[in-house]
Structure 1
């Protein structure tokens, strides 16, 4: 089974942009709420703090799913594997559960970095591998380059952006999506529909949004520093949105709100 679709790992706690005491306290609250999947990245600058907190959390290593991502600046023969080894040392683990390419390379030629990613898996540095921020075209290329499964394409995914092309590509390539920016950094709360639907189920607006994502077949990454929000973001498995409510939320895809826009970062591609 794809690690991202194991029931205990469908809800992952993201660590961006947390550091220091704020990160440690948030991770403690997440562990207490039931999270066992955690997401970090070389780019976040918090792998060592994340590793220290997870090593001290009291949960057995085999019960955790740890994801980290390689910075695009390390997509070279000289730097890729050493950067992964440095990540493992910082995280205090001998292999990561999921290793992702954080962004496509500048210029869009994804094949060389994908081959380096596969070499990290083949050398035992990662149990599974995947990508992040890939377009549908890149997903199709990746499927032809990599020998073996890619467990995810982690992308911006929430009700305010239309990701039907990526969902179709996921079906066509066998590379499932997973989400970041799952509540669009709070932008969803400007839309009263979520609170209205939430009243029907006795759930918050955020819980409705997160349940919608899960029912799209997309595992979640969420982040909060507030213990109550951390708990409620995790507590979304005891209800199911009706098909009518799913369609009402689907209509908000037309909003076209996207956090990461083309050109905003040097690696951001032209989105589908």
Structure 2
């Protein structure tokens, strides 16, 4: 089974948009709660803080799963490996566990950055490689371009957005999905169904949302600076949503509210 779907790593602590002391403080709480998977990116500008936060911990390196993502501006052959080496220096690591392409390139040529990603893995800079924000058709193309496993496609995934096409591509290609913007930047809390469902399980609305994502076969990235929320986001393995409750939440995906689009990120693709 893919490591991102193992029990200890399918819940990752995301670090965007944390910076400086707030970032390191949140990482300390997350480690204490039990998080062992952490997610950052060159684009976030906080790899040094993430590195310091993890270095302060007594958790052994082999127990951690660290993901970072290459900025599209660094996809060129002259910049790619140099940027990854700088990321490792900032993170105080010899390798990352997963190295992803953060967004598809603007020119649509995914083959070139995928080959650079493979080079980084071949040089031992990353144990696993993967994608982020790739469409279903791009997932199929990536599967044909790369010989080895693709560890994930990290995408916006929450109950207010229908991602059936990407889920289908994940099943077809064997590239599992992982989520970001898992509670739609708070938009899910405008829907009373989540709190109502949570009452039956003794769980919060947010925990119901995250459990729904896991039961869709998608690993979860969450971020908070509040210790009680960090703990709650982690504490989602001791209940299972019924098929009726899953279907009730599934119905909300037709809201089709996308949080991160081309209005915010110029590299955002035209989704299929």
Matched, 1:199 2:216: no
> 1:8 is paired with a residue of what secondary structure?
coil
8 Å CA contact retained: 1:40, 1:69? yes
> 1:225 is paired with a residue of what secondary structure?
coil
Q: CA deviation at 1:31?
A: 0.6
> 1:9 is paired with a residue of what secondary structure?
coil
Match of 2:44 in 1: 44
8 Å CA contact retained: 1:104, 1:269? yes
What is the number of residues matched between the two proteins? Answer: 272
Report the Cα distance in structure 1 between the residues aligned to 2:2 and 2:121, rounded to whole angstroms: 15
> 2:228 is paired with a residue of what secondary structure?
helix
8 Å CA contact retained: 1:263, 1:269? no
Matched, 1:70 2:66: no
CA shift digits 1:107-154 (9 cap, x unpaired): 222111101101100111100000000000000000011110000000
Report the Cα distance in structure 1 between the residues aligned to 2:154 and 2:108, rounded to whole angstroms: 17
Match of 1:60 in 2: 60
8 Å CA contact retained: 1:37, 1:65? yes
8 Å CA contact retained: 1:130, 1:153? yes
8 Å CA contact retained: 2:157, 2:180? yes
Once the two structures are superposed, the pairs formed by residues 48-197 of structure 1 within 5 Å of their partners are: 48-197=48-197
Q: CA deviation at 1:53?
A: 0.8
Report the Cα distance in structure 2 between the residues aligned to 1:30 and 1:263, rounded to whole angstroms: 32
Structure 1: gaps (5+ residues) = none
8 Å CA contact retained: 2:25, 2:53? no
CA shift digits 1:244-270 (9 cap, x unpaired): 000000000011111112343221001
Q: CA deviation at 1:6?
A: 1.6
Q: CA deviation at 1:271?
A: 1.3
Matched, 1:217 2:183: no
8 Å CA contact retained: 2:35, 2:234? yes
Report the Cα distance in structure 2 between the residues aligned to 1:56 and 1:21, rounded to whole angstroms: 13
Query: TM-score, normalising length from structure 1?
Result: 0.99
Report the Cα distance in structure 1 between the residues aligned to 2:50 and 2:262, rounded to whole angstroms: 30
Match of 2:13 in 1: 13
